[in-house]
């Protein structure tokens, strides 16, 4: 039955078994058992939705944030009316096959305006996750295959400022490879979207444990900080603090290594030349590319000895006793050197005033976190479950007449054709995602618009029900909050 107590349509029976039509697998389910997705079960010959349907309530004590609310204990079945209550698609059921209206089309009044929210759990074969991993560590070359349990589930994509990016899932991994590849991809996506930790390996790269809202673990080492900036940016940010305390500073970075005496910031502060010679390719004064191969050492390079990025000092400029600080973009690595009579850098204890500058770099680094964005294309049964003319829904979304959410969380809808959206999974209630063994992910999606606009786009008006109809027959319980974000400086 649905969460309001009305029966869910079931297909053919096979003895005591009933056939579920909630997804293309069409399981035959025996009494007391659930289908392959663990979302629908046979309860004495009735097809029932196992999970509760979730609504969200906004409270003043939560600072206006949407927080999970579900029936528990002696609840009398009455919902707080108005803008404080939002009906999500979590636990609502699906529109499969395509001709069925959405499971819940709920009307309510907000500021005197009649509104309607159409909710459904979409079956997404065309979906994946974009993963942002805050780390300077080299995870692997761009386009390298990313694997879970040895199966290809995605690839490394372009690096962004202080972060490595992965693109995981998609229809080709879910359906275009072996049966095991599809199953492993589906499992990894669902775990990531539900806030669980997943271990990934990158071909010719690292092993990384990813969990939404948690620091990444690269090759067994938890990451602590996101870089303050590239090496050049660090020079610009802290040059004045180094003035008079040291003759030269090199900020080692896999992308752009900065050199204080050559950098424009150093020139404006009248810091004299030091005769330093850098390896790599000079871009503009004080900015060097490719000083070392990428890796998990200093500044995302493979080096453990920073002096390997230096050539010999120019004897016409350099002088014995010259002081040099070398530091990474996170402040995790640092070393202090003085030139001897042969102009060779000799490591010395880091002076307190330079230790303070290293700590300032660390202070300005944000905590390293993993961000997981679910991305899906809403087509097929999703749109047909809202209106009998699905293209009108797409146009309504693009014209901002219809608001799209996922589990009550705001989404970004991509421009162009279709309804392709992204959502931060940490903003959603726990356990918002499921799966069907086609394989595909099951994700909540809600469309909210004026009731008059819904009628104009050809909505299923005969199925509109008032918010108060979610009564005591609806199975609900207290929901767990979304997983907390963590990550602190050390």
Tokens matching residue 443: 């994700």
pLDDT confidence of residue 247: 98
> Is 343 part of any domain?
yes
Position 90 scores a pLDDT of 86
Residue 19: inside a domain, yes or no? yes
Residue 313, in any domain of the structure: yes
Mean pLDDT on 218-225:
94
Whether pLDDT at 473 is above 70:
no
- Last residue in a domain, options 330, 346, 363: 363
Find the range with the poorest average confidence among 69-73, 161-165, 295-299: 69-73
**pLDDT band for position 256 (cuts 50, 70, 90):** very high
Tens-digit pLDDT profile for residues 148-206: 999 999 999 999 988 999 999 999 999 999 999 999 999 999 999 999 999 999 999 99
**Given 363, 396, 411, which residue is the final one in a domain?**
363
The larger pLDDT score, comparing residue 359 to residue 90, is at 359
Average pLDDT of every residue of the chain: 87
Q: Is residue 327 part of a domain?
A: yes
The per-residue pLDDT for 380 is 74
% of the chain at pLDDT higher than 70: 87
Burial label for 391, CB within 10 Å (0-12, 13-18, 19+), is: exposed
Q: How far, in Å, CA of 422 to CA of 429, rounded?
A: 16
Tokens of 232: 């050049």
Residue 284 in domain: yes
Select, from the ranges 66-70, 72-76, 179-183, 406-410, the one with the highest average predicted confidence (pLDDT): 179-183
Look at residue 143 and tell me whether its pLDDT is greater than 90: yes
Q: What is the pLDDT of residues 18-29, one digit of tens each?
A: 988 888 788 999
Residue 177 lies in a domain: no
Position 3 scores a pLDDT of 42
Minimum mean pLDDT among 72-76, 268-272, 279-283: which range?
72-76
Q: Identify whether 38 is part of a domain.
A: yes
First-to-final CA distance of the chain: 52
Burial 411-442 (b: 16+ CB within 10 A, else e): bebeeeeebbbebbbbbbbbbbbbbbbbbbbb
Q: How many domains does the chain have?
A: 2
Structural domain harbouring 32? 13-49
Residue 180 lies in a domain: no
Q: What is the pLDDT of residues 312-337, one digit of tens each?
A: 999 999 999 999 999 999 999 999 99
Query: Which of 339, 363, 387 is the endpoint of a domain?
Result: 363
């Amino acid at each position: 039955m649905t969460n309001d107590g009305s029966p869910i349509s079931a297909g053919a029976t096979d003895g005591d078994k009933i056939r579920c039509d909630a997804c293309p697998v069409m399981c035959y389910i025996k009494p007391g058992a659930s289908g392959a997705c663990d979302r629908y079960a046979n309860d004495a010959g009735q097809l029932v939705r196992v999970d509760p349907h979730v609504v969200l309530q906004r409270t003043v004590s939560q600072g206006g944030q949407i927080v999970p609310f579900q029936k528990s204990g002696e609840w009398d079945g009455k919902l707080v009316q108005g803008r404080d209550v939002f009906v999500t698609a979590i636990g609502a059921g699906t529109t499969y096959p395509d001709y069925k209206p959405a499971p819940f089309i709920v009307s309510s009044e907000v500021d005197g305006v009649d509104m309607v929210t159409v909710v459904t759990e979409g079956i997404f074969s065309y979906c994946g996750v974009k993963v942002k991993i805050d780390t300077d560590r080299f995870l692997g070359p761009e386009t390298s295959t990313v694997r879970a349990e040895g199966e290809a589930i995605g690839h490394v994509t372009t690096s962004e400022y202080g972060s490595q990016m992965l693109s995981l899932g998609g229809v080709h991994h879910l359906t275009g490879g072996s049966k095991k590849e599809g199953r492993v991809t589906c499992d990894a996506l669902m775990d990531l979207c539900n806030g669980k930790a997943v271990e990934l390996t990158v071909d010719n790269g690292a092993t990384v444990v990813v969990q939404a809202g948690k620091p990444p673990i690269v090759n067994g080492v938890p990451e602590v900080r996101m870089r303050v900036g590239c090496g050049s940016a660090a020079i610009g940010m802290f040059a004045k603090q180094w003035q008079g305390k040291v003759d030269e500073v090199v900020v080692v970075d896999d992308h752009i290594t900065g050199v204080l005496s050559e950098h424009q910031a150093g020139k404006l502060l009248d810091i004299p030349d030091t005769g330093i010679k850098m390896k790599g390719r000079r871009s503009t004064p004080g900015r060097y590319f490719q000083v070392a191969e990428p890796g998990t050492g200093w500044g995302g390079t493979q080096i453990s000895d920073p002096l390997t990025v230096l050539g010999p000092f120019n004897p016409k400029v350099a002088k014995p006793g010259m002081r040099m600080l070398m530091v990474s973009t996170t402040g995790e690595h640092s070393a202090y050197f003085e030139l001897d009579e042969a102009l060779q850098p000799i490591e010395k204890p880091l002076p307190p005033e330079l230790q303070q500058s290293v700590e300032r770099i660390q202070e300005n680094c944000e905590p390293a976190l993993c961000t997981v964005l679910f991305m899906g294309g809403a087509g097929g049964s999703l749109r047909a479950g809202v209106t009998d003319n699905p293209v009108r829904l797409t146009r309504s979304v693009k014209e901002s007449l219809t608001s799209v959410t996922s589990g009550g969380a705001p989404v970004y809808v991509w421009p162009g054709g279709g309804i392709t959206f992204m959502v931060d999974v940490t903003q959603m209630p726990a356990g918002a995602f499921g799966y069907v063994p086609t394989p595909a992910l099951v994700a909540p999606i809600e469309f909210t618009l004026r009731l008059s606009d819904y009628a104009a786009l050809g909505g299923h008006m005969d199925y509109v029900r008032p918010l108060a109809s979610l009564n005591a027959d609806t199975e609900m319980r207290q929901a767990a909050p979304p997983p907390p974000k963590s990550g602190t400086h050390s």
